[in-house]
Amino acid sequence: MMKHFFVKPWAWVPTLYLGESLPFSAVMLLSVIMFKDFGLSDGQITVYTGWLGLPWVIKPLWSPFIDNFKTKRWWILTMQFVMGIALALVAFTIPTAYWLQCSLALFMLIAFASATHDVSADGFYIIGLDNHDQELFVGVRNTFYRIGMMLGQGGMVTIQAVIALALTSGGDKDSYQNSIAWAIVFVVMALFMVLLGLFHSFALPPVEQPLHDKFEIKTQLIEFWNTIKVFCHKPHIITALLFILLFRLPEGLLTKIVPLFLTRSIAEGGLEMDKVDFGVIYGTLGVIGLLLGGILGGWAISKWGLKKCLWPLVLCITLPDIVYVYLSYVFTDNIWVIGSCVCIEQLGYGLGFAAYTLYLVHFSRGERSTAVFAICTAGQYLGGVMLPGMVSGLISENVGYQTFFLIVMAFCLVTFTVTALVKVNDEE
């Protein structure tokens, strides 16, 4: 009976996407707060962490290999254990003199393992569920993916702040104790990834057989070329590419700057929140908004179809970004006002991202679905995470947070344009 329960989608879909998002949050989001703590500027932080997004962009290069060597279940388990070990190594290097070089190198290793895990998990989702369940669980997977990011960015920051305060004598800030607190946080994340690997070793159902058991470079090159041909022959490929690359542009600009804006001092144009309040907002109110948005978005699409829901959900993911324009002008220190704004923005993001993800799933169906989906998500990271994330800090440093958030709102017009151009079939 217990074995039968664990192969049910409710048993493994939420945890699988927690395992997908936590390493990403460690590399791309949690590192932002840590580097700020250690004195790096907005521009340095966004450029460094932006380059760490490279593996998610180039992962289609090895996605055919994942499709043809071993099983996606095998890749998922292996990468979860690799990421657990690498996160533990980050913890040991933080208190050293070469913390920046070592952490960046290990973060890049985690990024490559996480990108490989993403390809495997997304492919497992497609082959492990029928079409109806894919639509039903799209809100669940997106919600738990974002919960993992919120726990990584909000929950772990809160834990770090509490530990640092407990370790620091007299309440005075001590950089060494702060480093030790960050090291403990990464140990916690490492243990969590190892436990996830152990859980998934019996929770993930065996839904496929390996095609090959050895690596042949010629075979993989042929497979990659065939995948590119399949992708390029998809219907309406030009408008689909524009949609994939540019839909998340405003969100990509916001992702790294919002935590910095909330925690920078008033003199620097920020709201000067302490890390405990920041963690509580992202770990509770943000998660509540995201839960509602992700589940409601998936339910709405399952009920009325993607075509009917697309524009309403697009408005949900763009218009709430205006809350940061408001916060940058009022400079409130009221945690409930700030939390409500974050909750509203996350609610809208959860609704809109459900539509975006399901479009990628529909677009990828058919021949070589796993590798095609990897190309789609690589384009998503390039246009919606890596490039806008890298330049966001340089923009905010030069124009200030107020003007920066106005620029983000202007870029919502790009999202509207690519949505107007994209083709969605009636049955989707």
For residue 1, the model assigns a pLDDT of: 39
CB count in 10 Å sphere of residue 311: 13
pLDDT bin (cut points 50, 70, 90) of residue 327 is very high
Tens of pLDDT, residues 135-176 = 667 777 877 887 787 788 778 888 888 888 888 755 555 677
The angle at the Cα of 427, spanning 239 to 366, to the nearest 5 degrees, equals: 70
Pair of tokens at residue 287:
């998660």
Sign of the four-CA dihedral 387, 388, 392, 398: positive
Tens of pLDDT, residues 221-253 = 777 788 888 888 888 899 999 999 999 999 889
For residue 326, the model assigns a pLDDT of: 95
Pair of tokens at residue 383:
């246009």
Instruction: For residues 418 and 379, give the distance between their C-alpha atoms in angstroms, rounded to a whole number.
Output: 14
- Close Cβ partners of 116 (under 8 Å, ≥ 6 residues apart): 59, 62, 66, 75, 79
pLDDT value at 106 more than 60: yes
pLDDT bin (cut points 50, 70, 90) of residue 2 is very low
The residue among 323, 355, 354, 369 whose CA lies nearest residue 419 is: 355
For residue 80, the model assigns a pLDDT of: 94
pLDDT value at 428 more than 70: no
The residue among 83, 84, 99, 118 whose CA lies nearest residue 40 is: 99
Q: If you search the block for the tokens 């738990």, which residue do you land on? A: 144
Instruction: For residues 396 and 335, give the distance between their C-alpha atoms in angstroms, rounded to a whole number.
Output: 23
pLDDT bin (cut points 50, 70, 90) of residue 427 is low
pLDDT value at 131 more than 70: no
Tens of pLDDT, residues 63-81 = 777 777 778 888 999 999 9
**H or E segment and range at residue 395:** helix 387-421
CB count in 10 Å sphere of residue 226: 14
Instruction: For residues 163 and 177, give the distance between their C-alpha atoms in angstroms, rounded to a whole number.
Output: 9
pTM of the model: 0.78
Least confident of 3-12, 14-23, 125-134, 276-285: 3-12
H helices, E strands: number in the chain: 21, 0
Contacts by residues 106-111 (CB-CB < 8 Å, ≥ 24 positions apart): 107/26, 107/27, 107/31, 107/52, 108/52, 108/54, 108/55, 110/23, 110/26, 110/27, 110/83, 110/86, 111/23, 111/27, 111/52, 111/53, 111/54, 111/55, 111/56
pLDDT bin (cut points 50, 70, 90) of residue 329 is very high
Integer-rounded Cα Rg, in Å, for the chain is: 21
Instruction: For residues 381 and 118, give the distance between their C-alpha atoms in angstroms, rounded to a whole number.
Output: 12
pLDDT value at 14 more than 90: no
b/e burial code for range 385-412 (CB count within 10 A of at least 16 → b): bbbbbbebbebbbeeebbebbeebeebb
What domains does the chain contain, in order, with CATH numbers? Answer: 8-204+212-421 (1.20.1250.20)
The residue among 256, 224, 303 whose CA lies nearest residue 63 is: 224
